[in-house]
Amino acid sequence: MTQSVLAAQAEGALEKAVTVLRGNGVVAYPTETVYGLAVDPFSETALDRLYEVKGRPSAMPVLLVVADRGMVEMVVKEISEKARRCMEIFWPGPLSLLLPARSDLPKRVIGPEGKVCVRCSSHYIARGLSRLMGRPITSTSANLTGSPPARTAREAALQGVDLILDGTCGTAAVPSTVFDPDTGKIVREGPITEAMLYVVCHGNGLHY
């Protein structure tokens, strides 16, 4: 595909992006934190392209964005009370949760402990793409592995990206917090801090 740029708010922009995704293409899009790269996570061909674009080692799984909490069940086999509480308080928002993955998911979206990383983004474009796609999409940062994450459409224009949705990211300049609600472990701290998570989990009788 030839790389193209569309204003994210333009009429039909999200529909065109979904068409690219359904054709195993790669779409760069703004989120509440940084630019993300979307592909269909259920397609091995699409995942191959994503990993090639990022230069990402195959052992490093990618996280997923969902349109709403109901969509989580497409990729997760069970949701604990601790996880539900985090969803209620922080979703939509920059908190990615590690949850027990369904066994039929591609290996590159499942971590070494059998968990998939999922977030319901607070950015309307991220949620809109997932909603129109009818399933979760990937949301790995739009940069070469090891490089700073992209915050603009120009920075997200990596070789191999088919379509870039030109829009504004949220105010947080760092990727989302990655948290395992069942172990209490923060894998990556971002806009949602350890103190915020502690108040929610421990202030409501959800002890580890």
Q: Output the pLDDT for position 200.
A: 78
Residue 198 pLDDT: 85
Q: What pLDDT, on the 0 to 100 scale, is given for residue 173? A: 81
pLDDT at residue 204 in the model = 57
Predicted pLDDT of residue 87? 96
Q: Residue 207: its pLDDT value, please?
A: 54
pLDDT digits (tens, 9 = 90+) for 84-116: 999 999 999 999 999 999 999 999 999 989 999
Q: Which is it for strands 35-38 and 27-30: parallel, antiparallel or unpaired?
A: antiparallel
Global pTM reads 0.92
Strands (DSSP E) along 9-157, which ranges? Answer: 27-30, 35-38, 64-66, 95-100, 115-120, 137-138, 140-141
Look at residue 104 in the predicted model and tell me its pLDDT. 94
Q: Which two tokens stand for residue 130?
A: 């997932």
Ordered by where they begin, the domains of the chain are 4-202 (3.90.870.10)
Q: How many CB atoms lie within 10 A of CB 199?
A: 12
Q: Mark the ranges of the chain whose per-residue pLDDT is less than 70.
A: 1, 203-208
Name, in order, each residue with C-beta under 8 angstroms of 47's C-beta and a sequence gap of 6 or more.
39, 41, 62, 106, 108, 109, 138
Return d(Cα 93, Cα 179) in angstroms, integer.
Answer: 13
